[in-house]
Amino acid sequence: MIEIQLLNEKCVKCGACASECPSGVLLRHGEKAMPEVADTANCIGCGHCVAICPTGALRHSLFAEEMVREVNRELLPSPEAVLELIRSRRSNRSMTACQVPEKVLQDMLEAARYAPTAENSRKVRVSVLRGADIRNVEDATMRFFLRLARILLHPLVRPFTRTFLKDLYKQAPALESFRRQWEKGERPSTCNATVLLAFTAPAGYDFGWQDCNLAYQNASLMAESHGISQVYMGFVQTACKLFGQKRTAKLLHLPQGHRLYALMGIGVPAFKYSRYTVR
């Protein structure tokens, strides 16, 4: 059971904890009154109350004192620095065979873990794939699309495809290029990434897509800050949708009962972009 305690000798009765509590666990009756703890069963464990208290007057059983840290504002980037990072970020698909440093990967996973989630549910999980697992994903994706293309681009079917499946028809030349690269041993659909990150949430969870892609964005920005390439694996995700949940879960080693909502490929870039274009 969650326990919340307010220390009378430290509380300055500012009411910030009560005003920020999203679940109504902390209440204040009157402008100068000390906040009161209501039903802690409604607490979602977001930690807003602990983080906003200016005097450290609040004790929460989910957050031991050593888990509560002061914000080091000297380390925070300026708005200009954040915007420059966002403007300069690109999907750099030219990745080398060099391994992503473990420190970088752990920073990315930590950044993903700190992404906001609906009602602080924190249901997002990130599966890490390397080596042979990535090759299996690549081969399954390429075989699937090449088989599909042979059917949909058959001379008897091509008029239908050109008329009703225009996007697929336009992708035919790119798929042919992918085929040549794949047959030479490259991994075009996964961009030769050395690590894949699969962002998942429980099947049936209403906010799986939103939560996973917020986590993806955090990890993506962290990768960019380290100078690491990151690419959204849309081609593979399209294949996974058509594979079905059972095959996708086995291929990507997803947690039991989880569904894939975002897939990132990362790697050490062969080169870095020195400019960005104004949009």
Task: Say yes or no: 22 and 86 in one domain.
Answer: no
Q: Find out whether 260 and 193 touch, Cβ atoms under 8 Å.
A: no
Orientation angle between helical segments 79-88 and 208-225, nearest 10 degrees = 100
Task: Say yes or no: 121 and 59 in one domain.
Answer: no
Task: Say yes or no: 91 and 54 in one domain.
Answer: no
Domain with residue 146: its CATH number is 3.40.109.10
Q: Which of 213, 199, 194 is nearest to 98 (CA)?
A: 194
Identity of the residue numbered 23: S
Q: Which of 244, 277, 239 is nearest to 89 (CA)?
A: 277
pLDDT at 158 (0 to 100):
64
Handedness of CA 256, 258, 259, 262 (dihedral sign): negative
Task: Say yes or no: 213 and 273 in one domain.
Answer: yes
Task: Say yes or no: 53 and 91 in one domain.
Answer: no
> How far is Cα 267 from Cα 242, in angstroms, rounded to an integer?
26
Q: Residue 82's Cα: distance from chain center in Å?
A: 18
Identity of the residue numbered 254: L
Look up the domain containing 143 and give its range. 77-279
Domain's final residue, options 67, 85, 103: 67
Q: List C-alpha distances in Å: 209 to 117, 118, 261.
A: 10, 11, 5
Is residue 129 situated within a structural domain? yes
Sheet strands (E) in the chain:
4-6, 26-27, 36-37, 58-60, 125-130, 195-202, 229-232, 258-267
Q: 39 phi and psi, to 5 degrees?
A: -80, 110
> How far is Cα 249 from Cα 257, in angstroms, rounded to an integer?
9
Domain's final residue, options 33, 67, 101: 67
Domain's final residue, options 67, 88, 110: 67
Task: Say yes or no: 139 and 231 in one domain.
Answer: yes
Q: Which of 2, 3, 30 is nearest to 18 (CA)?
A: 30
Is residue 72 situated within a structural domain? no
Task: Say yes or no: 209 and 181 in one domain.
Answer: yes
Per-residue pLDDT tens, the chain, 279 aa: give them.
899 999 999 999 999 999 999 999 999 988 888 999 998 999 999 999 999 999 999 999 999 988 899 999 999 999 999 999 999 999 999 999 999 999 999 999 999 999 999 999 999 999 999 999 999 999 999 998 888 777 666 566 566 656 766 666 666 667 788 889 999 999 999 999 999 999 999 999 999 999 999 999 999 999 999 999 999 999 999 999 989 999 999 999 999 999 999 999 999 999 999 999 998
Q: Which of 257, 259, 217 is nearest to 237 (CA)?
A: 259
Task: Say yes or no: 158 and 105 in one domain.
Answer: yes
Domain with residue 54: its CATH number is 3.30.70.20
Q: 245 phi and psi, to 5 degrees?
A: -65, -45
Q: Find out whether 48 and 19 touch, Cβ atoms under 8 Å.
A: no
- The total of structural domains in the chain comes to 2
Task: Say yes or no: 198 and 144 in one domain.
Answer: yes
